[in-house]
Structure 1
Amino acid sequence: MTGALEGPLIPTNSFSNSPSTPPAAAPSQSRFPLSPQSTNSSLSNEVVDIQLELGVHRISAEMGTRLLMSYVELLLYLKGQVPFPPSQLRRMAAGGRKASPHQNKLLKALSALSTDLPSTLASCGSPSAITVAIVFGLGREKCFIQLSGTEFEPSKDTEEVPESASQSPKKENVKALETMSNENLKFNTVPSKRRSPRPPLQEISSVDTLSTELSSVSLRPSADEAMIRQAERALSQAMACSDVDFKDGLAPMGAQVFLRAPRRFKHASWAVRPEAARMLDAPFKALTESEVVLIESVRVRAKDAPVTVEETEEMIWWGWDGRLAGYA
Protein backbone atom coordinates (compact mmCIF):
# COMPACT_ATOMS: atom_id res chain seq x y z
CA MET A 1 0.00 0.00 0.00
CA THR A 2 1.22 3.46 -0.79
CA GLY A 3 0.36 6.46 1.29
CA ALA A 4 1.85 9.48 2.94
CA LEU A 5 3.36 8.64 6.30
CA GLU A 6 4.95 11.27 8.42
CA GLY A 7 8.06 11.22 10.52
CA PRO A 8 11.07 8.92 10.50
CA LEU A 9 10.26 5.28 10.99
CA ILE A 10 12.58 2.89 12.75
CA PRO A 11 13.12 -0.47 11.09
CA THR A 12 11.38 -3.58 12.36
CA ASN A 13 12.32 -7.23 12.05
CA SER A 14 9.85 -9.99 11.28
CA PHE A 15 9.71 -13.01 13.53
CA SER A 16 11.16 -16.13 11.92
CA ASN A 17 12.17 -19.66 12.87
CA SER A 18 15.85 -18.81 12.64
CA PRO A 19 17.34 -16.18 14.94
CA SER A 20 17.65 -12.77 13.38
CA THR A 21 20.62 -10.47 13.76
CA PRO A 22 19.67 -7.08 15.21
CA PRO A 23 20.83 -4.04 13.26
CA ALA A 24 24.01 -2.41 14.52
CA ALA A 25 23.41 0.83 16.37
CA ALA A 26 25.21 3.95 15.33
CA PRO A 27 28.12 4.59 17.71
CA SER A 28 27.52 8.34 17.73
CA GLN A 29 23.97 8.13 19.06
CA SER A 30 22.70 6.09 22.00
CA ARG A 31 19.37 4.35 21.49
CA PHE A 32 16.79 3.35 24.05
CA PRO A 33 16.19 -0.38 24.56
CA LEU A 34 13.17 -0.59 22.29
CA SER A 35 13.02 -3.71 20.14
CA PRO A 36 10.05 -3.33 17.82
CA GLN A 37 9.55 -6.70 16.17
CA SER A 38 6.52 -7.20 13.98
CA THR A 39 5.06 -10.24 12.38
CA ASN A 40 2.11 -10.89 10.13
CA SER A 41 0.93 -14.48 10.41
CA SER A 42 -2.21 -14.04 8.34
CA LEU A 43 -0.87 -14.51 4.83
CA SER A 44 -3.09 -17.55 4.29
CA ASN A 45 -6.43 -15.93 5.03
CA GLU A 46 -5.50 -12.42 3.87
CA VAL A 47 -6.43 -10.79 7.17
CA VAL A 48 -4.06 -8.34 8.80
CA ASP A 49 -2.60 -9.67 12.06
CA ILE A 50 0.28 -7.47 13.18
CA GLN A 51 2.21 -8.43 16.30
CA LEU A 52 4.58 -5.82 17.70
CA GLU A 53 6.92 -6.40 20.63
CA LEU A 54 8.33 -3.39 22.49
CA GLY A 55 11.50 -3.33 24.54
CA VAL A 56 9.73 -1.99 27.63
CA HIS A 57 8.81 -4.04 30.68
CA ARG A 58 5.34 -2.54 31.02
CA ILE A 59 3.03 -0.31 28.98
CA SER A 60 2.03 2.68 31.09
CA ALA A 61 -1.23 4.59 30.79
CA GLU A 62 0.54 7.42 28.97
CA MET A 63 2.17 5.10 26.47
CA GLY A 64 -1.08 3.17 26.08
CA THR A 65 -2.99 6.37 25.32
CA ARG A 66 -0.48 7.50 22.72
CA LEU A 67 -0.37 4.07 21.05
CA LEU A 68 -4.16 3.84 20.90
CA MET A 69 -4.45 7.32 19.38
CA SER A 70 -1.71 6.58 16.83
CA TYR A 71 -3.53 3.39 15.88
CA VAL A 72 -6.94 5.07 15.52
CA GLU A 73 -5.64 7.98 13.46
CA LEU A 74 -3.54 5.86 11.11
CA LEU A 75 -6.37 3.33 10.76
CA LEU A 76 -8.73 6.09 9.61
CA TYR A 77 -6.21 7.06 6.94
CA LEU A 78 -5.47 3.49 5.80
CA LYS A 79 -9.20 2.80 5.59
CA GLY A 80 -9.74 5.79 3.31
CA GLN A 81 -11.81 7.69 5.85
CA VAL A 82 -9.67 10.86 5.62
CA PRO A 83 -7.68 12.33 2.70
CA PHE A 84 -4.59 12.89 4.89
CA PRO A 85 -3.39 11.57 8.25
CA PRO A 86 -5.04 13.53 11.09
CA SER A 87 -1.66 14.81 12.31
CA GLN A 88 -1.13 16.42 8.91
CA LEU A 89 -4.66 17.82 8.96
CA ARG A 90 -3.86 19.53 12.26
CA ARG A 91 -0.73 21.13 10.84
CA MET A 92 -2.64 22.31 7.80
CA ALA A 93 -5.28 23.92 10.01
CA ALA A 94 -2.62 25.49 12.24
CA GLY A 95 -0.89 26.89 9.16
CA GLY A 96 -3.95 28.92 8.26
CA ARG A 97 -5.54 26.60 5.71
CA LYS A 98 -9.31 26.76 5.98
CA ALA A 99 -10.76 23.47 7.18
CA SER A 100 -14.10 22.03 6.19
CA PRO A 101 -16.82 21.50 8.81
CA HIS A 102 -16.35 17.72 8.48
CA GLN A 103 -12.63 18.06 9.16
CA ASN A 104 -13.20 20.25 12.20
CA LYS A 105 -15.76 17.80 13.54
CA LEU A 106 -13.40 14.84 13.17
CA LEU A 107 -10.42 16.63 14.73
CA LYS A 108 -12.60 17.72 17.64
CA ALA A 109 -13.77 14.13 18.18
CA LEU A 110 -10.17 12.84 18.10
CA SER A 111 -9.17 15.48 20.63
CA ALA A 112 -12.03 14.41 22.92
CA LEU A 113 -10.98 10.76 22.65
CA SER A 114 -7.38 11.65 23.44
CA THR A 115 -8.57 13.56 26.51
CA ASP A 116 -10.77 10.68 27.74
CA LEU A 117 -8.28 7.84 27.29
CA PRO A 118 -5.88 8.52 30.21
CA SER A 119 -8.68 8.49 32.81
CA THR A 120 -10.33 5.60 30.95
CA LEU A 121 -7.26 3.39 31.24
CA ALA A 122 -6.76 4.38 34.88
CA SER A 123 -10.36 3.39 35.63
CA CYS A 124 -9.83 -0.08 34.18
CA GLY A 125 -7.79 -1.12 37.19
CA SER A 126 -4.76 -3.32 36.58
CA PRO A 127 -5.57 -5.67 33.70
CA SER A 128 -2.80 -7.60 31.99
CA ALA A 129 -4.20 -6.56 28.62
CA ILE A 130 -6.59 -4.01 27.15
CA THR A 131 -8.59 -4.50 23.95
CA VAL A 132 -10.17 -1.74 21.86
CA ALA A 133 -12.38 -2.33 18.81
CA ILE A 134 -13.08 0.14 16.01
CA VAL A 135 -16.34 -0.59 14.19
CA PHE A 136 -17.12 1.16 10.91
CA GLY A 137 -20.73 1.71 9.95
CA LEU A 138 -23.17 -0.80 11.40
CA GLY A 139 -20.56 -3.50 11.87
CA ARG A 140 -19.56 -3.60 8.22
CA GLU A 141 -15.87 -3.49 9.12
CA LYS A 142 -14.27 -4.26 12.49
CA CYS A 143 -10.68 -3.88 13.70
CA PHE A 144 -8.96 -4.77 16.97
CA ILE A 145 -5.96 -3.40 18.83
CA GLN A 146 -4.76 -5.19 21.95
CA LEU A 147 -2.11 -3.97 24.38
CA SER A 148 -0.55 -6.71 26.54
CA GLY A 149 1.63 -6.16 29.57
CA THR A 150 -0.15 -3.02 30.72
CA GLU A 151 0.31 -1.34 34.08
CA PHE A 152 -2.16 1.48 34.64
CA GLU A 153 -2.02 3.48 37.86
CA PRO A 154 -5.41 4.23 39.44
CA SER A 155 -6.74 7.73 38.97
CA LYS A 156 -6.00 10.14 41.83
CA ASP A 157 -9.54 11.50 41.60
CA THR A 158 -10.92 8.16 42.78
CA GLU A 159 -8.82 8.06 45.94
CA GLU A 160 -10.99 8.52 49.01
CA VAL A 161 -10.12 11.14 51.62
CA PRO A 162 -10.65 10.06 55.26
CA GLU A 163 -13.71 11.74 56.73
CA SER A 164 -11.96 12.61 60.00
CA ALA A 165 -9.11 14.32 58.15
CA SER A 166 -11.49 16.43 56.08
CA GLN A 167 -13.61 17.51 59.06
CA SER A 168 -10.98 18.26 61.73
CA PRO A 169 -9.57 21.43 60.07
CA LYS A 170 -13.10 22.81 59.70
CA LYS A 171 -13.81 22.32 63.43
CA GLU A 172 -10.55 24.03 64.36
CA ASN A 173 -11.35 26.97 62.08
CA VAL A 174 -14.81 27.34 63.65
CA LYS A 175 -13.34 27.38 67.16
CA ALA A 176 -10.75 29.97 66.14
CA LEU A 177 -13.44 32.22 64.64
CA GLU A 178 -15.60 31.92 67.77
CA THR A 179 -12.68 32.85 70.02
CA MET A 180 -11.77 35.85 67.86
CA SER A 181 -15.36 37.10 67.72
CA ASN A 182 -15.72 36.83 71.52
CA GLU A 183 -12.54 38.85 72.06
CA ASN A 184 -13.69 41.51 69.60
CA LEU A 185 -17.04 41.82 71.37
CA LYS A 186 -15.33 42.04 74.76
CA PHE A 187 -13.10 44.96 73.79
CA ASN A 188 -15.51 46.38 71.18
CA THR A 189 -12.85 46.28 68.50
CA VAL A 190 -12.75 45.12 64.91
CA PRO A 191 -9.65 43.36 63.60
CA SER A 192 -7.89 45.46 61.00
CA LYS A 193 -7.06 44.04 57.59
CA ARG A 194 -3.37 43.83 56.89
CA ARG A 195 -2.08 44.32 53.38
CA SER A 196 0.21 41.58 52.18
CA PRO A 197 3.77 42.87 51.88
CA ARG A 198 5.16 43.21 48.37
CA PRO A 199 7.83 40.65 47.52
CA PRO A 200 11.33 42.05 47.17
CA LEU A 201 12.71 42.60 43.67
CA GLN A 202 15.36 39.93 44.21
CA GLU A 203 12.68 37.32 44.88
CA ILE A 204 10.78 38.25 41.71
CA SER A 205 13.90 38.02 39.57
CA SER A 206 14.77 34.62 41.06
CA VAL A 207 11.27 33.33 40.22
CA ASP A 208 11.64 34.55 36.64
CA THR A 209 15.02 32.84 36.37
CA LEU A 210 13.59 29.58 37.71
CA SER A 211 10.69 29.78 35.25
CA THR A 212 13.12 30.27 32.37
CA GLU A 213 15.18 27.28 33.49
CA LEU A 214 12.09 25.07 33.78
CA SER A 215 10.97 26.12 30.30
CA SER A 216 14.33 25.19 28.80
CA VAL A 217 14.27 21.82 30.57
CA SER A 218 10.73 21.05 29.34
CA LEU A 219 11.89 21.48 25.73
CA ARG A 220 14.15 18.44 26.07
CA PRO A 221 12.17 15.19 25.87
CA SER A 222 12.55 12.87 28.82
CA ALA A 223 13.59 9.26 28.51
CA ASP A 224 9.96 8.15 28.84
CA GLU A 225 8.86 10.59 26.14
CA ALA A 226 11.60 9.39 23.78
CA MET A 227 10.56 5.79 24.41
CA ILE A 228 6.91 6.60 23.68
CA ARG A 229 7.81 8.35 20.43
CA GLN A 230 9.85 5.36 19.29
CA ALA A 231 6.95 3.06 20.11
CA GLU A 232 4.59 5.27 18.10
CA ARG A 233 6.91 5.21 15.10
CA ALA A 234 7.32 1.44 15.37
CA LEU A 235 3.54 0.97 15.40
CA SER A 236 3.07 3.32 12.44
CA GLN A 237 5.68 1.50 10.37
CA ALA A 238 4.30 -1.93 11.25
CA MET A 239 0.84 -0.87 10.08
CA ALA A 240 2.00 0.94 6.95
CA CYS A 241 4.41 -1.81 5.87
CA SER A 242 2.22 -4.80 6.68
CA ASP A 243 2.58 -7.81 4.37
CA VAL A 244 -1.20 -7.82 4.00
CA ASP A 245 -2.81 -4.47 3.28
CA PHE A 246 -5.67 -3.10 5.32
CA LYS A 247 -8.92 -3.15 3.37
CA ASP A 248 -9.30 0.35 1.97
CA GLY A 249 -12.47 0.03 -0.12
CA LEU A 250 -14.69 1.66 2.48
CA ALA A 251 -16.66 4.78 1.67
CA PRO A 252 -16.36 7.53 4.32
CA MET A 253 -18.63 6.60 7.21
CA GLY A 254 -18.93 6.85 10.97
CA ALA A 255 -16.76 4.76 13.26
CA GLN A 256 -17.51 3.73 16.84
CA VAL A 257 -14.97 2.93 19.56
CA PHE A 258 -15.56 -0.02 21.90
CA LEU A 259 -13.58 -1.04 24.97
CA ARG A 260 -13.50 -4.42 26.68
CA ALA A 261 -13.48 -3.64 30.39
CA PRO A 262 -14.76 -5.13 33.67
CA ARG A 263 -18.43 -4.75 34.56
CA ARG A 264 -17.38 -2.65 37.56
CA PHE A 265 -15.73 -0.14 35.20
CA LYS A 266 -17.14 3.39 35.54
CA HIS A 267 -16.48 6.39 33.32
CA ALA A 268 -18.65 9.29 32.26
CA SER A 269 -17.68 8.95 28.58
CA TRP A 270 -18.38 5.21 28.29
CA ALA A 271 -21.64 3.26 28.49
CA VAL A 272 -22.47 -0.45 28.44
CA ARG A 273 -23.21 -1.73 24.92
CA PRO A 274 -24.80 -5.21 25.18
CA GLU A 275 -25.45 -5.30 21.42
CA ALA A 276 -21.70 -5.14 20.75
CA ALA A 277 -21.24 -8.65 22.16
CA ARG A 278 -22.99 -10.20 19.16
CA MET A 279 -20.48 -8.80 16.69
CA LEU A 280 -17.31 -8.65 18.82
CA ASP A 281 -17.29 -11.70 21.12
CA ALA A 282 -16.52 -14.26 18.39
CA PRO A 283 -13.59 -12.37 16.82
CA PHE A 284 -12.25 -11.53 20.28
CA LYS A 285 -12.29 -15.20 21.26
CA ALA A 286 -10.44 -16.06 18.06
CA LEU A 287 -7.91 -13.33 18.81
CA THR A 288 -7.09 -14.71 22.25
CA GLU A 289 -7.59 -18.46 21.81
CA SER A 290 -6.86 -19.24 18.16
CA GLU A 291 -3.89 -18.77 15.85
CA VAL A 292 -6.17 -17.58 13.05
CA VAL A 293 -7.77 -14.17 13.52
CA LEU A 294 -11.15 -13.32 12.02
CA ILE A 295 -10.77 -9.55 11.69
CA GLU A 296 -7.89 -7.13 11.14
CA SER A 297 -5.91 -6.99 14.37
CA VAL A 298 -2.87 -5.30 15.85
CA ARG A 299 -1.31 -6.77 18.98
CA VAL A 300 1.29 -4.77 20.91
CA ARG A 301 3.02 -6.43 23.85
CA ALA A 302 5.64 -5.48 26.43
CA LYS A 303 8.59 -7.70 27.31
CA ASP A 304 6.99 -8.86 30.57
CA ALA A 305 3.56 -9.45 29.05
CA PRO A 306 1.98 -12.87 29.68
CA VAL A 307 1.92 -15.28 26.77
CA THR A 308 -1.83 -15.73 26.96
CA VAL A 309 -4.48 -13.17 27.87
CA GLU A 310 -6.62 -14.41 30.76
CA GLU A 311 -9.67 -12.56 32.06
CA THR A 312 -9.97 -12.98 35.81
CA GLU A 313 -13.35 -11.20 36.10
CA GLU A 314 -16.45 -10.63 34.03
CA MET A 315 -15.62 -8.47 31.02
CA ILE A 316 -18.16 -6.68 28.82
CA TRP A 317 -18.09 -4.22 25.95
CA TRP A 318 -18.36 -0.49 26.59
CA GLY A 319 -19.00 2.12 23.93
CA TRP A 320 -17.48 5.59 23.79
CA ASP A 321 -20.06 8.37 23.63
CA GLY A 322 -18.29 10.10 20.75
CA ARG A 323 -18.22 9.23 17.06
CA LEU A 324 -15.47 9.44 14.46
CA ALA A 325 -17.04 10.50 11.17
CA GLY A 326 -14.93 10.06 8.05
CA TYR A 327 -15.16 12.38 5.05
CA ALA A 328 -13.89 12.49 1.48
Structure 2
Amino acid sequence: MTGMALLVCCGWTVLLCLSVQAYENLALHQPAWQSSTWRSYTGADLAVDGRYTDLVWNGGQCAMSIHGQTAAEWKVDLGAVRSIHHVVIQYMTENEVWDEDNWFTSTFLGFSVYMSNTTNKEDGVLCFRDTNYTGATLPNPVNITCPYHGRYVIYYNNRTHPPYPEGYSTYTYSDLCEVEVYGCPSPGYYGENCSLECPQNCQNGYCNIVEGTCFGCTHRYIGPRCQENLALHQPAWQSSTYFYYTADRAVDGQYTDLAWNGGQCAASDGGQTTAEWRVDLGGVRSIHHIVIQYMTGNIVWGGDTLPLRLNFTS
Protein backbone atom coordinates (compact mmCIF):
# COMPACT_ATOMS: atom_id res chain seq x y z
CA MET A 1 0.00 0.00 0.00
CA THR A 2 2.86 2.38 -0.82
CA GLY A 3 1.79 6.01 -1.31
CA MET A 4 -1.68 5.24 0.00
CA ALA A 5 -4.26 7.67 1.32
CA LEU A 6 -3.99 11.10 2.72
CA LEU A 7 -7.47 10.63 4.17
CA VAL A 8 -8.36 7.33 5.74
CA CYS A 9 -11.32 7.26 8.12
CA CYS A 10 -12.67 4.18 9.87
CA GLY A 11 -15.38 6.03 11.74
CA TRP A 12 -16.93 9.48 11.69
CA THR A 13 -19.41 10.29 14.38
CA VAL A 14 -21.56 13.40 14.75
CA LEU A 15 -23.55 13.59 17.98
CA LEU A 16 -26.51 15.75 18.94
CA CYS A 17 -26.22 18.37 21.67
CA LEU A 18 -28.35 18.15 23.71
CA SER A 19 -35.73 21.36 44.46
CA VAL A 20 -36.85 18.87 46.46
CA GLN A 21 -39.14 16.92 44.18
CA ALA A 22 -42.16 14.75 44.89
CA TYR A 23 -40.40 11.41 45.17
CA GLU A 24 -41.93 8.28 46.67
CA ASN A 25 -40.76 6.65 49.92
CA LEU A 26 -39.54 3.35 48.45
CA ALA A 27 -38.52 1.86 51.82
CA LEU A 28 -41.98 1.93 53.42
CA HIS A 29 -42.99 -1.56 54.62
CA GLN A 30 -40.12 -3.21 52.73
CA PRO A 31 -38.11 -6.10 54.26
CA ALA A 32 -35.39 -4.91 56.64
CA TRP A 33 -32.54 -6.57 58.52
CA GLN A 34 -30.11 -5.58 61.28
CA SER A 35 -26.94 -7.18 62.59
CA SER A 36 -28.39 -7.59 66.10
CA THR A 37 -31.73 -6.94 67.83
CA TRP A 38 -32.10 -5.77 71.44
CA ARG A 39 -35.61 -7.14 72.08
CA SER A 40 -38.38 -8.73 70.01
CA TYR A 41 -40.17 -5.36 69.94
CA THR A 42 -37.14 -3.51 68.52
CA GLY A 43 -36.86 -5.36 65.20
CA ALA A 44 -35.39 -3.90 62.00
CA ASP A 45 -38.81 -3.57 60.34
CA LEU A 46 -39.86 -0.89 62.83
CA ALA A 47 -37.55 1.57 61.01
CA VAL A 48 -39.69 1.28 57.85
CA ASP A 49 -43.19 1.07 59.34
CA GLY A 50 -44.02 4.75 58.76
CA ARG A 51 -44.32 5.50 62.49
CA TYR A 52 -41.98 7.78 64.40
CA THR A 53 -44.06 9.80 66.86
CA ASP A 54 -42.68 7.96 69.91
CA LEU A 55 -38.88 7.94 69.78
CA VAL A 56 -38.16 5.94 72.95
CA TRP A 57 -36.53 2.51 72.96
CA ASN A 58 -39.66 0.72 74.21
CA GLY A 59 -42.23 2.74 72.29
CA GLY A 60 -42.67 0.05 69.63
CA GLN A 61 -41.70 2.36 66.77
CA CYS A 62 -37.91 2.08 66.65
CA ALA A 63 -35.39 -0.56 65.62
CA MET A 64 -32.64 -1.11 68.18
CA SER A 65 -29.43 -3.17 68.18
CA ILE A 66 -27.82 -5.00 71.10
CA HIS A 67 -25.67 -2.93 73.45
CA GLY A 68 -21.91 -3.36 73.69
CA GLN A 69 -21.24 -3.91 69.95
CA THR A 70 -18.28 -2.40 68.08
CA ALA A 71 -20.17 -2.48 64.76
CA ALA A 72 -23.84 -2.08 63.89
CA GLU A 73 -25.50 -2.52 60.49
CA TRP A 74 -29.07 -2.12 59.26
CA LYS A 75 -30.37 -2.50 55.71
CA VAL A 76 -33.61 -2.34 53.75
CA ASP A 77 -34.39 -4.27 50.58
CA LEU A 78 -36.22 -2.01 48.11
CA GLY A 79 -37.35 -5.08 46.15
CA ALA A 80 -35.48 -4.22 42.95
CA VAL A 81 -32.88 -1.76 41.69
CA ARG A 82 -34.39 1.70 42.21
CA SER A 83 -33.45 5.24 41.25
CA ILE A 84 -32.78 7.12 44.51
CA HIS A 85 -32.68 10.83 45.28
CA HIS A 86 -32.24 11.08 49.06
CA VAL A 87 -32.43 9.21 52.35
CA VAL A 88 -33.93 10.57 55.58
CA ILE A 89 -32.94 9.01 58.93
CA GLN A 90 -34.84 9.65 62.16
CA TYR A 91 -32.71 8.51 65.10
CA MET A 92 -33.90 7.59 68.57
CA THR A 93 -34.08 10.51 71.04
CA GLU A 94 -35.90 9.07 74.08
CA ASN A 95 -38.33 11.92 73.38
CA GLU A 96 -35.82 14.35 74.83
CA VAL A 97 -34.32 17.52 73.33
CA TRP A 98 -31.82 16.69 70.59
CA ASP A 99 -28.56 18.44 71.52
CA GLU A 100 -25.09 17.59 72.81
CA ASP A 101 -26.60 16.57 76.17
CA ASN A 102 -28.71 13.85 74.57
CA TRP A 103 -26.79 10.59 75.01
CA PHE A 104 -28.03 9.21 71.69
CA THR A 105 -26.02 11.77 69.73
CA SER A 106 -22.86 9.95 70.84
CA THR A 107 -24.05 6.65 69.33
CA PHE A 108 -25.22 8.27 66.05
CA LEU A 109 -21.96 10.13 65.34
CA GLY A 110 -19.67 8.61 62.70
CA PHE A 111 -22.39 6.76 60.77
CA SER A 112 -22.33 5.89 57.06
CA VAL A 113 -25.00 5.24 54.42
CA TYR A 114 -24.41 3.01 51.40
CA MET A 115 -26.37 2.13 48.27
CA SER A 116 -25.75 -1.34 46.82
CA ASN A 117 -27.17 -3.86 44.36
CA THR A 118 -26.25 -6.63 46.83
CA THR A 119 -26.57 -7.09 50.57
CA ASN A 120 -22.85 -6.27 50.89
CA LYS A 121 -22.14 -2.58 51.40
CA GLU A 122 -18.65 -3.03 49.93
CA ASP A 123 -20.23 -3.84 46.56
CA GLY A 124 -22.04 -0.51 46.48
CA VAL A 125 -21.41 3.21 46.61
CA LEU A 126 -20.88 5.32 49.72
CA CYS A 127 -23.58 7.99 49.87
CA PHE A 128 -22.38 9.62 53.08
CA ARG A 129 -19.93 9.16 55.94
CA ASP A 130 -19.99 11.44 58.96
CA THR A 131 -16.55 12.84 59.72
CA ASN A 132 -17.44 16.37 60.81
CA TYR A 133 -20.53 16.41 63.00
CA THR A 134 -20.39 16.92 66.75
CA GLY A 135 -23.08 16.34 69.34
CA ALA A 136 -24.02 20.00 68.99
CA THR A 137 -24.23 20.05 65.17
CA LEU A 138 -25.58 16.57 64.32
CA PRO A 139 -29.09 17.00 62.82
CA ASN A 140 -31.96 14.65 63.60
CA PRO A 141 -33.62 13.77 61.33
CA VAL A 142 -30.75 13.90 58.85
CA ASN A 143 -31.31 14.25 55.08
CA ILE A 144 -28.68 12.61 52.86
CA THR A 145 -28.54 13.22 49.12
CA CYS A 146 -27.82 9.92 47.33
CA PRO A 147 -28.54 10.19 43.55
CA TYR A 148 -27.63 6.61 42.67
CA HIS A 149 -29.25 3.33 41.71
CA GLY A 150 -29.43 0.29 43.93
CA ARG A 151 -31.59 -2.27 45.67
CA TYR A 152 -30.29 -2.07 49.23
CA VAL A 153 -29.85 1.00 51.41
CA ILE A 154 -27.43 0.21 54.22
CA TYR A 155 -26.81 2.09 57.48
CA TYR A 156 -23.49 1.31 59.17
CA ASN A 157 -21.56 2.54 62.19
CA ASN A 158 -18.56 1.19 64.03
CA ARG A 159 -16.16 1.75 66.89
CA THR A 160 -13.45 -0.63 65.71
CA HIS A 161 -10.49 1.74 65.36
CA PRO A 162 -10.18 3.97 68.46
CA PRO A 163 -9.45 6.57 69.53
CA TYR A 164 -12.49 8.50 68.33
CA PRO A 165 -13.26 12.20 68.56
CA GLU A 166 -14.71 13.73 71.68
CA GLY A 167 -18.42 13.04 72.00
CA TYR A 168 -18.35 9.58 70.40
CA SER A 169 -19.72 6.62 72.36
CA THR A 170 -17.49 3.67 73.27
CA TYR A 171 -19.82 1.25 71.50
CA THR A 172 -22.10 1.68 68.54
CA TYR A 173 -25.78 1.11 67.88
CA SER A 174 -28.39 1.21 65.15
CA ASP A 175 -31.20 2.85 67.07
CA LEU A 176 -33.28 3.87 64.08
CA CYS A 177 -36.85 5.06 64.45
CA GLU A 178 -37.41 5.59 60.71
CA VAL A 179 -35.44 5.35 57.48
CA GLU A 180 -37.13 6.85 54.42
CA VAL A 181 -35.66 6.32 50.97
CA TYR A 182 -37.04 8.72 48.38
CA GLY A 183 -36.79 8.15 44.67
CA CYS A 184 -38.45 6.79 41.53
CA PRO A 185 -40.00 3.31 41.53
CA SER A 186 -38.55 2.68 38.06
CA PRO A 187 -34.88 3.36 37.21
CA GLY A 188 -35.91 4.41 33.70
CA TYR A 189 -37.43 7.72 34.83
CA TYR A 190 -36.27 10.94 36.44
CA GLY A 191 -37.41 14.44 37.37
CA GLU A 192 -40.40 15.79 39.24
CA ASN A 193 -42.96 13.05 39.89
CA CYS A 194 -40.62 10.66 38.04
CA SER A 195 -42.46 11.51 34.82
CA LEU A 196 -39.52 11.98 32.42
CA GLU A 197 -37.96 9.03 30.60
CA CYS A 198 -34.19 8.58 30.71
CA PRO A 199 -32.44 8.99 27.32
CA GLN A 200 -32.93 5.79 25.35
CA ASN A 201 -29.22 5.07 24.96
CA CYS A 202 -28.37 5.16 28.68
CA GLN A 203 -26.71 1.92 29.75
CA ASN A 204 -29.27 -0.36 31.45
CA GLY A 205 -31.75 2.50 31.19
CA TYR A 206 -30.22 4.30 34.21
CA CYS A 207 -29.86 8.07 34.45
CA ASN A 208 -29.34 10.76 37.08
CA ILE A 209 -32.63 11.21 38.90
CA VAL A 210 -32.36 15.02 38.85
CA GLU A 211 -30.68 15.92 35.55
CA GLY A 212 -31.42 12.88 33.39
CA THR A 213 -27.78 12.44 32.42
CA CYS A 214 -26.61 8.87 31.80
CA PHE A 215 -24.22 6.97 34.09
CA GLY A 216 -23.02 5.02 31.05
CA CYS A 217 -23.93 4.58 27.38
CA THR A 218 -24.81 1.70 25.13
CA HIS A 219 -22.42 0.85 22.28
CA ARG A 220 -21.35 3.73 20.02
CA TYR A 221 -23.08 6.43 22.03
CA ILE A 222 -21.22 8.88 24.23
CA GLY A 223 -21.79 12.14 26.07
CA PRO A 224 -23.85 13.15 29.12
CA ARG A 225 -27.11 12.03 27.52
CA CYS A 226 -25.70 9.37 25.17
CA GLN A 227 -26.85 11.40 22.21
CA GLU A 228 -27.75 9.96 18.85
CA ASN A 229 -25.04 9.59 16.23
CA LEU A 230 -26.46 11.84 13.52
CA ALA A 231 -23.95 10.70 10.91
CA LEU A 232 -24.79 7.00 11.08
CA HIS A 233 -25.77 5.64 7.63
CA GLN A 234 -26.09 9.13 6.15
CA PRO A 235 -24.88 9.94 2.59
CA ALA A 236 -21.12 10.58 2.48
CA TRP A 237 -18.68 11.78 -0.19
CA GLN A 238 -14.91 12.00 -0.58
CA SER A 239 -12.68 13.76 -3.09
CA SER A 240 -11.14 10.50 -4.31
CA THR A 241 -11.58 6.80 -3.55
CA TYR A 242 -8.93 4.11 -3.30
CA PHE A 243 -10.38 0.98 -4.95
CA TYR A 244 -13.66 0.11 -3.17
CA TYR A 245 -12.96 1.98 0.11
CA THR A 246 -15.88 4.35 -0.38
CA ALA A 247 -16.84 7.32 1.79
CA ASP A 248 -19.91 5.60 3.26
CA ARG A 249 -17.69 3.11 5.13
CA ALA A 250 -16.80 5.88 7.60
CA VAL A 251 -20.46 6.15 8.69
CA ASP A 252 -21.50 2.49 8.63
CA GLY A 253 -21.12 1.98 12.40
CA GLN A 254 -18.31 -0.57 11.98
CA TYR A 255 -14.76 -0.02 13.22
CA THR A 256 -13.56 -3.31 14.69
CA ASP A 257 -11.20 -4.01 11.78
CA LEU A 258 -9.00 -0.96 11.18
CA ALA A 259 -6.93 -2.45 8.34
CA TRP A 260 -7.02 -0.85 4.89
CA ASN A 261 -8.57 -3.98 3.39
CA GLY A 262 -10.91 -4.81 6.27
CA GLY A 263 -13.93 -3.35 4.53
CA GLN A 264 -14.78 -0.98 7.36
CA CYS A 265 -12.76 2.12 6.45
CA ALA A 266 -13.02 4.84 3.82
CA ALA A 267 -9.79 5.69 1.99
CA SER A 268 -8.76 8.32 -0.50
CA ASP A 269 -6.52 7.62 -3.48
CA GLY A 270 -2.75 7.81 -3.07
CA GLY A 271 -0.55 10.57 -4.46
CA GLN A 272 -2.96 13.42 -3.65
CA THR A 273 -1.93 16.82 -2.27
CA THR A 274 -5.35 17.42 -0.70
CA ALA A 275 -8.08 15.15 0.58
CA GLU A 276 -11.65 15.92 1.59
CA TRP A 277 -14.49 13.86 3.06
CA ARG A 278 -17.97 14.97 4.13
CA VAL A 279 -21.28 13.63 5.37
CA ASP A 280 -24.78 15.02 4.75
CA LEU A 281 -26.81 14.98 7.98
CA GLY A 282 -30.02 15.42 6.01
CA GLY A 283 -30.87 18.81 7.47
CA VAL A 284 -29.60 21.54 9.76
CA ARG A 285 -28.70 19.87 13.07
CA SER A 286 -27.52 21.01 16.50
CA ILE A 287 -24.13 19.39 17.11
CA HIS A 288 -22.37 18.71 20.39
CA HIS A 289 -19.19 16.92 19.32
CA ILE A 290 -17.55 14.85 16.58
CA VAL A 291 -15.50 11.66 16.99
CA ILE A 292 -13.05 10.44 14.29
CA GLN A 293 -11.59 6.92 14.29
CA TYR A 294 -8.58 6.77 11.96
CA MET A 295 -7.15 3.70 10.23
CA THR A 296 -4.37 1.87 12.10
CA GLY A 297 -3.72 -1.25 10.01
CA ASN A 298 -4.62 -3.06 13.25
CA ILE A 299 -1.18 -2.08 14.55
CA VAL A 300 -0.54 -0.45 17.95
CA TRP A 301 -1.12 3.31 17.68
CA GLY A 302 2.26 4.77 18.54
CA GLY A 303 1.57 8.50 18.37
CA ASP A 304 2.78 10.25 21.52
CA THR A 305 0.38 13.17 21.25
CA LEU A 306 -2.11 12.31 18.49
CA PRO A 307 -5.00 10.28 19.96
CA LEU A 308 -6.36 7.32 18.05
CA ARG A 309 -9.93 8.56 18.44
CA LEU A 310 -10.21 12.30 18.01
CA ASN A 311 -13.06 13.97 19.88
CA PHE A 312 -13.89 17.52 18.81
CA THR A 313 -16.37 19.60 20.80
CA SER A 314 -18.15 22.12 18.62
Query: What is the TM-score of this pair, normalised by structure 1?
Result: 0.22
Q: Which structure: greater helix fraction?
A: 1
Structure of higher CA gyration radius? 2
Tell me which of the two structures has the higher relative contact order, counting C-alpha pairs closer than 8 angstroms and 6 or more residues apart: 1
